[in-house]
């Protein structure tokens, strides 16, 4: 009967809307602090007891941070006394949490009893639009802390009287790690041949995108990049985006003037419209239209016609092959 009454008191307290609670002043036994990285899922660990609190400090760059995960190992005695310990999340904590301060004020935005299990995983979202899901293994809190101050505050506190004294000595092992969105950043730098600013459009996976300071946020994985310009040749690349990482791509735009490269043995002669090619393996500009290519090697001569179009590159390759057959 007593346990039922104690639980009833707890749930009556739990059902009071936090918007009516306002700021409260409270004292904790101690505060543990962890700092979240913004670009990796590195795990931080803390050991807390009842009446202890955890201050989770945010990274300076929160671009990829959707929230954070708390993996809590609940002592057996706390799990046995169901609803004996409350888990709370606070906003507006003052003063700034530190190990030497035990008196605080703040507004509780979420509270729930610890479940009757030995391991509990909870996700705390940090953005209203997020991909964090609630399922049978992970609990998602239905509140988004205000982290404009650079931190959020978690508190463990007694929720009922009459529990064994050992409960107050119980320790919670808490592992904290970031929940990162499955996105990364593409940083694109485009250079024109003359070093001047070029006018171009960027398409990713055939869709136009707007760059902010040369950057765009993309889903992790492979993407097709296309840089189009009326003044220069279109450039296409395949880019791979890693989660919470920045991939840098540099593109040098090329002139629309068509080019030709000739490769041939050193003792051969190659002519373009009767003008001898002086060097092999070097790209050079050629005019648009029809051209005659003549290759001479020893006593052999090969003549071909070549139609040159604007914005394209061409290659002429004279290869000497030796074929041996046996019957």
* Per-residue pLDDT tens over the stretch 100-157: 999 999 999 999 999 999 999 999 999 998 889 888 889 999 899 999 999 999 999 9
CATH of the domain at 230: 2.60.40.1120
pLDDT at 102: 96
| Residues 101 and 122 both lie in one domain | yes
CATH of the domain at 141: 2.60.120
Give residue 96's pLDDT band: very low, low, confident or very high (50, 70, 90): very high
| Residues 159 and 291 both lie in one domain | no
| Residues 21 and 165 both lie in one domain | yes
pLDDT at 21: 55
In a domain, 324, yes or no: no
pLDDT at 12: 41
Q: Can you give the C-alpha Rg of the chain in angstroms?
A: 34
| Residues 71 and 191 both lie in one domain | no
Domain edge (last residue) among 227, 252, 277: 252
CA distance readout (Å), 10 to 41, 120, 155, 265, 319: 35, 20, 16, 90, 88
| Residues 232 and 219 both lie in one domain | yes
Q: Mean pLDDT lowest for which of 5-19, 66-80, 264-278, 295-309? A: 5-19
In a domain, 159, yes or no: yes
Number of domains in the chain: 3
Say what the pTM is. 0.74
| Residues 112 and 22 both lie in one domain | yes
Inform me whether the pLDDT recorded for 322 exceeds 80: no
Domain edge (last residue) among 252, 275, 307: 252
Greatest pairwise CA separation for the chain in angstroms: 112
Domain of residue 50 covers: 2-180
């Amino acid at each position: 009967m007593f346990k039922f009454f104690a639980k009833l008191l707890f749930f009556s307290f739990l059902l009071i809307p936090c918007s009516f609670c306002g700021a409260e002043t409270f004292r904790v036994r101690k505060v543990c602090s962890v700092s979240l990285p913004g670009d990796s899922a590195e795990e931080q660990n803390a050991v807390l007891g009842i009446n202890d609190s955890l201050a989770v400090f945010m990274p300076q760059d929160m671009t990829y941070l959707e929230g954070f995960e708390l993996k809590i190992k609940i002592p057996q005695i706390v799990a046995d006394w169901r609803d004996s310990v409350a888990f709370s999340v606070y906003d507006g904590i003052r003063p700034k949490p530190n190990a030497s301060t035990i008196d605080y004020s703040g507004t509780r935005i979420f509270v729930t009893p610890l479940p009757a299990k030995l391991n509990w995983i909870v996700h705390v979202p940090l953005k209203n639009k997020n991909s964090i899901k609630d399922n049978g293994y992970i609990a998602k809190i239905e509140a988004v802390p205000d982290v404009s101050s650079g931190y959020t505050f978690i508190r463990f506190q007694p929720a009922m009287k009459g529990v064994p004294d050992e409960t107050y000595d119980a320790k919670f092992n808490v592992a904290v790690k970031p929940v990162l969105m499955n996105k990364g950043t593409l940083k694109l730098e485009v250079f024109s041949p003359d070093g001047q600013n070029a006018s171009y459009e960027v398409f990713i996976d055939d869709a136009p995108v707007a760059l902010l300071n040369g950057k765009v946020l993309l889903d992790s994985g492979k993407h097709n990049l296309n840089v189009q310009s009326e003044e220069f040749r279109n450039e296409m690349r395949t880019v791979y985006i890693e989660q919470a990482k920045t991939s840098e791509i540099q593109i040098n735009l090329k002139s629309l003037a068509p080019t030709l490269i000739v490769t041939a043995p050193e003792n051969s002669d190659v002519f373009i419209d009767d003008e001898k090619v002086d060097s092999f393996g070097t790209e050079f500009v050629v005019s648009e239209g029809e051209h005659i290519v003549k290759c001479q090697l020893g006593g052999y001569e090969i003549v071909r016609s070549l139609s040159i179009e604007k914005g394209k590159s061409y290659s002429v390759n004279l290869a000497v092959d030796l074929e041996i057959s046996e019957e």
